[in-house]
Structure 1
Amino acid sequence: MTEPLQKTALITGAGSGIGRALALEAARRGYALILTGRRRAPLAETAELTSNGARCILGDVATAEGRAAICTAVGGRLDVLINNAGTLSVGHLGAQEDAAISAMLETNLLAPILLTRDLLPALRAAGGRVVNLGSVFGDIAYPFFTAYSATKFGLRGFSDALRRELSGSGVGVTYVAPRATRTAAESAFGPLVEPLDMHLDSAEKVARQAWDAIEAGKRDSYPRSRERLFVLIQRLFPSLIDKSVGAQARDAKTLEALETVSAR
């Protein structure tokens, strides 16, 4: 009897945080891995931790050269594409510089769209799945995360549109929306955690829930927490979220914490 082919997963931004946790969970589940990232040392460390001979592709997914290198490494078949790479900048929109906003748009939204486009032939050949790492902020738009929220709203819209476009093709789409997560990126918004009443999950928990959703072929995955209720309220009664989150944004403790974030 012929042994089934080992499935391959490509994970962008795999050098740290959720990307690393996704890679470790994928290795535990038996996937062959292609890991991408902009920094050689963290990427190599992730590969070593997986202990499964993961291939590392050094490059920026937001550039044409980086995407070309990834496509060359993938070849003709790909079972799972996980668009995880992302960047975050926090603060009053009026204080955000062009470069920071452009980086979020290019990395968080444009890069996943273009990389998915380029890898569609390989995904079709394998009957694979596109997985987009969004955020609860892609449903509940938060003050001081304005451009970041916009990119995650866009990624959610892209996921829904792509799922419908690929209907019947054999390629599935899963949108994963974790809440705030304990990673190095937390340093960008740490002082806001308490005044904005954020609850953080570990990257490992996010990765387990994401892979559960991927392997079950789910259309989306949200945290099993109060945020799921808030998302429902946002969709049905958005004015209630306006009042609640607006009050948090005006609170003196929030504004004081924001000063600390902006000073970094």
Structure 2
Amino acid sequence: MKLETTRVLLTGAAGGIGSAIAEKLAARGANLALLGRNDDETGPLADRLKADGAIVYGLSADLLDREAREQAINEAHQRLGGIDMLINCAGLMSFRPFSEEDPELMARIVQLNLTVPMMAARQVLPEMLKRGSGHIVNIGSTFGSIGFAWFAAYSASKFGLRGFSEALRRELDGTGVNLTYVAPRAVKTKLNTDAMYRMAEATKMNMDDPAWVADKTVAAIEADAKDVYLGFPEKFFARLNSFLPRLVDGGLRKQNQVMGGFARDA
């Protein structure tokens, strides 16, 4: 897909991955509506990209508030003159024993990681279908293919996002609207707590830089890729887990025990 002058709505734009994707898209000449929780998050990024000559609009809304979310998407549509691409990048994570999980936080994780991308796609899709062109990009996770202990709520939400992406892609076949699902492994962002970083160091978990993830994501968009799993050996184990999950159980057992000590202290 050619990105120059493409009108893009990006949620979670102020996050580590989101801001890096925004920079890559702006450099390729895309017109951007950056949606974050408040102006303090999206404003500085939008101003910086505009100073470099990009067409960028900073928007803010609580994505869990239906009215605010729909109004922000409508505003993005109005300012851009239409939406050619939706990138669902906003997300929320929790690292703790499921028996101790905060029910309200658990509900927010599922809403933000799964329900919001579905609702946003539902809002922009009719125009894309009428036009016969468009692109929806869902940023998932390796944790959406491998259910990791101590990340039960997060894994469940990302499994759901992967299933939604697969089903909608098949539904859109032949319409001119594409869907790309990108599954990074662990990424160095503000979503990670100190306990998660200490756990990652103890277990030698690979963690990628947001700029690298953004590079791979934009390349996948340009190639109209269907699904992309980032990082080896994680992408291998994601595939392996789909047909030999009990084998992966055994492979993760020792790591799960180490991770548990950090999760209980989180």
TM-score with structure 1 setting the length: 0.92
In the TM superposition, residue 36 of structure 1 has moved relative to its aligned partner by: 0.4
Residue 97 (1) aligns with residue 102 (2)? yes
Question: What is aligned with 1:192?
Answer: 199
Match of 1:168 among 163, 174, 198: 174
Residues 73-222 of structure 1 aligned to structure 2 (within 5 Å): 73=75, 74-75=77-78, 77-124=82-129, 125=131, 127-187=133-193, 189-222=196-229
Counterpart-to-counterpart distance in 1, 2:188 and 2:208: 6
Compare 229-238 and 82-91 and name the one that shifted more.
Answer: 229-238
Instruction: After superposition, give the CA deviation of every residue in 1:56-103 in whole Å (9 maximum; x if it has no partner).
Output: 221022221222223322146321100010111110000001111011
Residue 257 (1) aligns with residue 262 (2)? yes
Instruction: After superposition, give the CA deviation of every residue in 1:152-185 in whole Å (9 maximum; x if it has no partner).
Output: 0000000000001111111000000001101111
Instruction: After superposition, give the CA deviation of every residue in 1:1-43 in whole Å (9 maximum; x if it has no partner).
Output: xxx9821111001112111111111101110000101121121
Could you say if the C-alpha distance between residues 213 and 31 of structure 1 is closer, same or farther in structure 2, counting changes exceeding 3 Å? same
Counterpart-to-counterpart distance in 1, 2:132 and 2:152: 37
Compare 57-66 and 100-109 and name the one that shifted more.
Answer: 57-66
Counterpart-to-counterpart distance in 2, 1:258 and 1:157: 27
Could you say if the C-alpha distance between residues 39 and 231 of structure 1 is closer, same or farther in structure 2, counting changes exceeding 3 Å? same
Structure 2: gaps spanning 5 or more residues: none
TM-score with structure 2 setting the length: 0.91
Residues 30-49 of structure 1 aligned to structure 2 (within 5 Å): 30-49=29-48
Counterpart-to-counterpart distance in 1, 2:4 and 2:200: 44
Could you say if the C-alpha distance between residues 16 and 126 of structure 1 is closer, same or farther in structure 2, counting changes exceeding 3 Å? farther
Instruction: After superposition, give the CA deviation of every residue in 1:186-231 in whole Å (9 maximum; x if it has no partner).
Output: 2262222134431011100101100100111000111142112111
Counterpart-to-counterpart distance in 1, 2:145 and 2:192: 20
Supply the AA of the counterpart residue of 1:237: L
Percent identity between the two aligned chains: 35
Supply the AA of the counterpart residue of 2:66: A
CA contact (8 A) 1:9 1:80 kept: yes
Supply the AA of the counterpart residue of 1:84: C
Supply the AA of the counterpart residue of 1:53: I
Q: Secondary structure at the match of 2:138?
A: strand
Structure 1: gaps spanning 5 or more residues: none
CA contact (8 A) 2:181 2:227 kept: yes
Counterpart-to-counterpart distance in 2, 1:97 and 1:181: 24
Supply the AA of the counterpart residue of 1:222: Y
Aligned-pair Cα RMSD in Å = 1.7
In the TM superposition, residue 123 of structure 1 has moved relative to its aligned partner by: 2.5
Compare 30-39 and 116-125 and name the one that shifted more.
Answer: 116-125
Q: How many residues align?
A: 256
Question: What is aligned with 1:223?
Answer: 230
Instruction: After superposition, give the CA deviation of every residue in 1:86-122 in whole Å (9 maximum; x if it has no partner).
Output: 1111100000011110110110000000110011123
CA contact (8 A) 1:34 1:55 kept: yes
Match of 1:248 among 242, 255, 259: 255
